[in-house]
Chain A
Amino acid sequence: MGKTITEKVLSRVTGGDVSAGEIIYPEPELITVHDWYVVNFDKALKELGVEKLYEPDKVIISTDHEPVAVSPQASERQKQVREIVKKYGIKHFYDSGRGGHGHIFPVEMGFVKPGMFVEAYDVHVTNFGAVGALAIPVLIEITEVLACGSVWLKVPETVRVNLTGSLLPGTNMRDVAQKLICDLGAERVDYAVVEFGGDAMPSIDIAGRHTLCNTPIDIGAKSVLVEPDQSTLDYLAGRVNGPIDLISSDLDANFREIIDYDLNVLEPQIAIPPTPDCVVGVSEVVGKEVHHAFIGSCAAANLSDLRAAAEILRGNRIHPQVRFIITPGTQEIMSAAEEEGLIGLFAEAGAMITQPGCGPCAGGRIGGMADGETSINTGTRNDYGRLGAMKSEIYLGSASTVAASAIQGKITDPRDFLN
């Protein structure tokens, strides 16, 4: 019997021959933790009497949830994070203004390679699957990984999704990624790795792959990855040193299911409250008044998202009733957007540009909402209270849909602007 990418990666790191269902203690080759959990893991380690990390050089800490401290408590936490990082000798520390979003910049900077095994505190680390890495969130058990080098893992099965067809004008990978999790449903992917491949893959750039790898975790997948290909090699050239192995699943691997999925999703898609997999076509919610709009988050903060927004915003102004926040994913994306003139274009249209990172999506600490307000944004989740007030509503869509809606002050089909 052949093996899936996941089984191959976990066999390699454990030095064994593992298959789905086995319980193993695999050691990750990279570990990421964000600024809002550093103080917590330090406290847990102190209680356990642990003074040294198992392998501090494998750890990346990113200040992305609250890069600009907006309260005395946040400033205090930032100070503690800096002290903790120093105490444990963690050299890969990307503080405010350095890296940006911890689910995006490590890929840009070449920390992440195809076939690599990664563990993290935060769930959306599955973005690393964009270049074919297996990245698994372990939440509070990251303490055990930091102290002992590993934590138990049941080798997950794989659901293979072969993407076919092509995008229609006015839609992008966000629309596909949203509709896909709605169509798949939680039962089918529960505890499985969703592995993307198929004929349409060459047409999807790394930014689009980030988005594809971001959404399935929200319906209970264990991880998500794209089978690496020539596009992956092209992207990583100059970012990663040394040889790159284009790992792939064997033809006779034991997949839980193999699904064909067409990129032609007919129209832009909107996730309506209260979960990201409650997805409808934009035509069902067009006209819904909005007060808040946001482009950013690990689901859609890449240069291509900003370009898509700029295409619609050019020559237009944000509706007077709407406050519009744009958070580029990383310092590199911010810089590239500036070079292309996008930042100036956004400012002229009436948008606010924030420090790279999670932006409002991290619980609405910056640019949140009040009761009774409605937001259209590209964040990862739309649970009640995600952006602050419990009685506010969040609709999720592509950067194009958000930009069009911000101009009109109501949910708008972006195709109205693309003639």
Chain B
Amino acid sequence: MDWIYKGKCWKFGDNLGIDGDVMPLRFALERELDKNILRDYLMAGVDPEFPQKVSPGDIIVAGKRFGQGNPHIQGFLGIVGHGLGLVAESIPRGSFRNAINAGLPFLNGCDGVGNDVDTGDELEVNFLTGEFNNLSRNITRQYMPLDAKLREIIQAGGWAPSLEKRLSHVR
């Protein structure tokens, strides 16, 4: 997979709830795991037009506690369904695990990243190295990339494919 995402910035504030803001709760209750269905409802609670506006390679830049609430994976599958990346100031632990398991490339712990961007800026993010570039404003930041062991799971496409791959070695 290509770890470098280049596209438009979509900026959001703090405390976006995984249920409601990022994805309607009903999909969690229905155990819906099809990212091609979930993609059409991404950010329904804060911007219902969002799924029509984004393109693969675009990057969501979020504030603190992105995906807070009862950890459900559906919102992250919706992000993956669009081929978007995520850069967040913080992600609570349950959602952090779900983002890995959904196979989403992301950077976490990016303090103050919201000050460097606005929606519409052209960004280039290397999720392998943690290098973050706002091409529109000529700002470069170096963030901590995900641990290599976690990137392996993302590389495989998330928890289920990664587990299948691991099993093929165990067998």
Contact = CB atoms under 8 A, between A and B. Distances in A.
Interface of A: 22-23, 25, 48-50, 54, 141, 143-144, 147-148, 152, 190-191, 220, 222
Given A190-B92, A190-B93, A49 B149 contact: no
Interface of B: 92-93, 147, 149-150, 153, 159, 163-164, 166-167, 170
Q: Which of A23, A50, A54, A141 lies at the interface centre, i.e. has the most chain B CB atoms within 10 A of its CB?
A: A23
Contact of B163 (A54, A148, A220): A148
Contacts of A48: 163-164, 167
B167 A49 contact: yes
A152 B167 CA distance: 15
Nearest to B168: A49
B76 to A, nearest CB: 15
Given A190-B92, A190-B93, A220-B93, A23 B149 contact: yes
The B interface, classified by DSSP as helix, strand, loop or mixed, is: helix
A192 to B, nearest CB: 10
A191 B167 contact: no
Nearest to A150: B166
Contacts of B92: 190
B153 A152 contact: yes
The A interface, classified by DSSP as helix, strand, loop or mixed, is: loop
Contacts of A143: 163
Contacts of B93: 190-191, 220, 222
Which 5 A-B residue pairings sit nearest by Cβ, starting from the closest?
A23-B147, A23-B149, A191-B93, A144-B163, A148-B166
A280 B153 CA distance: 44
A412 B152 CA distance: 56
A292 to B, nearest CB: 26
A405 B167 CA distance: 54
A152 B163 contact: no
Contacts of A50: 167
Contacts of B166: 144, 148
A144 B93 CA distance: 19
Given A23-B147, A191-B93, 18 more contacts: A22-B147, A23-B149, A23-B150, A48-B163, A48-B164, A49-B167, A50-B167, A143-B163, A144-B163, A144-B166, A147-B163, A147-B170, A148-B167, A148-B170, A152-B150, A190-B93, A220-B93, A222-B93
Contacts of A191: 93
A147 B149 contact: no
Contacts of A23: 147, 149-150
Nearest to A25: B149
A148 B166 CA distance: 8
A152 B170 contact: no
B25 to A, nearest CB: 15
Contacts of B167: 48-50, 147-148
Contacts of A222: 93
A101 B151 CA distance: 38
Contacts of A152: 149-150, 153
19 contacts: A22-B147, A25-B149, A48-B164, A48-B167, A49-B167, A50-B167, A141-B159, A144-B159, A144-B163, A144-B166, A147-B163, A147-B170, A148-B163, A148-B166, A148-B167, A148-B170, A152-B149, A191-B93, A220-B93
Contacts of A25: 149
Nearest to B149: A23
A23 B147 CA distance: 7
Contacts of B150: 23, 152
Contacts of B153: 152
A222 B163 CA distance: 23
